Amino acid sequence: MAKRRPAILVLEDGRTFPGEAYGSVGETFGEAVFTTGMTGYQETLTDPSYHRQVVVQTAPHIGNTGVNGEDDESGRIWVAGYVVRDPARIGSNWRATGSLEDRLATEGVVGISGVDTRALTRHLRERGAMRVGISSVDNDPQSLLARVRQAPQMVGADLSTEVTTPEPYVVEAVGEHRFTVAALDLGIKRNVPRRLAARGVTTHVLPAGSNIDDLLATGADAIFLSPGPGDPATADGPVALAREALQRRVPLFGICFGSQILGRALGFGTYKLGYGHRGINQPVLDRVTGKVEVTSHNHGFAVEVPGAGHGAVVPDQVIDTDFGGVRVSHVCLNDNVVEGLRAVDVPAFTVQYHPEAAAGPHDADYLFDRFAELIEGRTHSEGRTNA
Ligand X SMILES: NC(=O)CC[C@H](N)C(=O)O
Q: Which is nearer to ligand X, 235 or 343 (CB)?
A: 235
Contact stretch for ligand X (CB under 6 A) within 14-22, 37-45, 136-144, 292-300: 292-300
Q: How far is the CB of 270 from ligand X (least distance, A)?
A: 8
Interacting residue with ligand X among 19, 193, 237, 300 (CB under 6 A): 300
With respect to ligand X, which residue has the nearer C-beta, 238 or 300?
300
Instruction: Select from 19, 87, 141, 228 the one that contacts ligand X (CB under 6 A).
Output: 228
- The footprint of ligand X on this chain (CB under 6 A) covers a number of residues equal to 11
Q: Taking contact as CB under 6 A, which single stretch among the options 15-23, 196-204, 215-223, 298-306 is the one that binds ligand X?
A: 298-306
298 is in an annotated binding site: yes
Catalytic status, residue 356: yes
For ligand X, what does the binding mask look like between residues 307 and 326, x meaning CB under 6 A? Answer: --------------------
Minimum distance of ligand X from residue 257's CB (angstroms)? 4
Closest separation between CB of residue 229 and ligand X, Å?
A: 5
Known catalytic residue at 332: no
Catalytic one among 12, 51, 256, 330? 256
Q: Which of residues 49-78 bind ligand X (CB under 6 A)?
A: 49
CA distances from 330 to 16, 119, 169, 181, 280 (A): 38, 32, 31, 24, 16
Identify whether 354 is a catalytic site residue.
yes
Comparison of 23 and 258: residue with beta carbon closer to ligand X: 258
Pick one of 197, 256, 266, 331: the residue that binds ligand X (CB under 6 A). Answer: 256
Annotated binding site for L-glutamine: 49, 228, 230, 257, 260, 298, 300-301
Footprint of ligand X on this chain (CB under 6 A)? 49, 227-230, 256-257, 298-301
